[in-house]
Chain A
Amino acid sequence: MKSTLLVGTLAATLVSTLSAEVFVLGASWRERSLVAPDGVIERKMRNAAAPRGYVIMEPAAAPTLNGAFIEYNNDRVDGKTYTITLNFTGFTSDMVEDERGATNRIFGQILTPVTTADVPNAMMSFSGSTYGTNKPNRITFDKEVFQSGDSSTATPPNMVVGGDMKRSLLSGAARNFVTTSTTLADAVLVLEQRLIDEGYERNAVGPVILVDPVAPAQRIGFDTSKSLSVTLDPSTYSENGTTYAWFKEAGDTDTLVGTTAVFAIPGGPAGDGTYYVVVTNEAGSDTSTSVTIAASTPVLLQFTNAAPNNIQPPSPVNVPFAGTAVLSAPTNANALPQITGYQWQRSALTPISFVNVADGLGGKNPTLTVSGETSANTNGPGLYRVVITNGGTPPTITSSNATVATALP
């Protein structure tokens, strides 16, 4: 049997059967344009354009479609370029079954690239045929006029007398393309590769912040685990990368506090404040909304065994006569206010009377070396406790249970 091209309804059925759920429409538009720079409609040299695109669709949970759109242009003005839009939602349609129930017609709207008139999110109506149960097969775009810029009219008669009006008249068509891809991501890769193979270069797409930074849950203690970030439109693209500038609002001049995609909020009061981020690449920038980080809940230090935020007193140690041992002051990185200082104190076993350990013997260090031998240059056996200072309330706490450093024979 003679093989035939995989096009039209037959092909669509085969593709639908063999390659499952991804289908591709190859679309092209014809655009004629006029501009009126000074109130007089003039024809620009470039009065015709022919943008093209792949509309890629993958059914998800009904009635959702996951979509992508690759627009590509090949002309003397722009060269060979393409732009990828992911999470594409610019294709909506309704299906109408004919009276015989034999075929379906499809009606809907499609996002339209407009070259001259500066019209964002331009949509064109279309009608056409389907394959399978609901996939577009061959569609024709209804002629549509898009106009942008300012113009004023004298009434009567209605004449353009000023402004900078741009007007584009578009029409076009699309048909299903053969694809062996079974996922949307793969189809995007395959079709992009075709463009790359033909020498097309990808256009940068300016960042669009889809999800602004969100204030974290209440910070407890000196919490350095919280961060801020944004979610960008996945179509954001720049060969030269995307930069982030996190600012903390501070009166007239905000302070730059971070340049990474994820901003780590400093622990304690330094992290309190209002932040926003400016995301930039060569195609543009976007600024997030501001988010306010509230003051953290204090975590006070207490010498108890309660977990998790409080601390235990130093543990007793046995130290050989000719040896040493180390006493460690309790620490808690999460304490708020944070620990600012230590003071070790020593007492004889009897009578009990604590005095500060000299600085030279490590009295203000977080750890203290004790010796089994008592001398002027050592911290000998005895009772030890530590006084911990922080900047808050209570400002100072003292280990309630003294630690025994016992000399072994």
Chain B
Amino acid sequence: MNKIWITAGGALIAIGAAVFFLNQDPAPDGPGTGGSTLPGTGETAPGSGQSPEGRRLRKEGQEAKEADSKAATDLQLLWARGDEKEVLDAIDKVGDYKKAEEWRAVGSVLIQKARSEGRDEVIRYLLATGDAAPMSIQLAMYAAALDNKAEGVKSLARLELQNLTGQVFNSEEEAKEWLKAHPPEEEAEEEE
């Protein structure tokens, strides 16, 4: 029975995350903004919060939210220090994530950086890293990169969005509108 609730809760979290990333508005760059742009996790559990199961799931959800917040803030702070090697190392660590929750914890930072990062090697490395993320984050990163200042990055984002959706977009807004109407199916997590 517990397993069913957890599975149902997980599915809702996944759907909530997909909707969240596709509806996310551009956020200002820089450290200390993680709190306002952290990924929401949507509903954390079905049922009444008064039941023991409901309380437990709510608590787990709260803990997960706090852990996500810390991961995103840490990444933001590290990025803000500006050292390219450190940033690339941090991106590498993100690229090693196996679980969708880990990706979702830092998803908003990745999306924001896809929009604002100006260093050529870093942005391309970041976008390639996003290819290993869940579909909703990958799409949101490329959509955000459409508004990157570098023409080469815009071009890359336009091409990859066309590869993934069959559509050609010229701005983040345009892509987000379409993606809202055509949300991706969340993929099953890979087994270890």
Contacts and interface: CB of A to CB of B under 8 A. Distances in A.
Given A4-B185, A105-B191, A199-B155, A173 B132 contact: yes
B159 interface: yes
A43 to B, nearest CB: 7
A89 interface: no
Contact of B183 (A5, A9, A76, A129): A5
Nearest to B160: A26
B155 A48 contact: no
A248 interface: no
Contacts of A129: 187-188, 190
Q: Give the contact-size bracket for chain B.
A: 35 or more
A3 B155 contact: no
A178 interface: yes
A80 B155 contact: yes
Contact of B124 (A4, A74, A175): A74
Given A76-B152, A198-B158, A48 B163 contact: no
B129 interface: yes
B152 A74 contact: yes
A30 B188 contact: no
A7 B190 contact: no
A116 interface: no
A7 B135 contact: yes
Nearest to B178: A5
B166 interface: yes
B184 interface: yes
B163 A8 contact: no
A167 interface: no
Interface in B128-176: 128-129, 131-132, 135, 139, 152, 155-156, 158-160, 162-166
A73 to B, nearest CB: 9
Nearest to B158: A198
Nearest to B151: A199
A30 B95 contact: yes
A194 B162 contact: yes
Contacts of B190: 127-129, 138, 140
Contacts of A43: 85
A334 B66 CA distance: 92
Interface string A40-60: 000100111110101000000
Contacts of A47: 85, 88, 121
Contact of B184 (A5, A30, A103): A5
Contact of A140 (B128, B132, B156): B132
10 contacts: A2-B183, A5-B182, A7-B185, A43-B85, A52-B128, A54-B163, A80-B155, A98-B191, A129-B190, A140-B190
Interface of B: 85, 88, 91-92, 95-96, 120-122, 124-125, 127-129, 131-132, 135, 139, 152, 155-156, 158-160, 162-166, 179, 181-188, 190-191
Question: What 4 A-B pairs have minimum CB-CB distances, sorted nearest first?
Answer: A50-B128, A173-B132, A5-B184, A28-B128
Given A5-B184, A6-B165, A26-B131, 14 more contacts: A3-B181, A5-B139, A5-B164, A5-B165, A9-B185, A28-B128, A28-B131, A30-B125, A30-B128, A46-B121, A47-B85, A103-B188, A178-B166, A194-B162
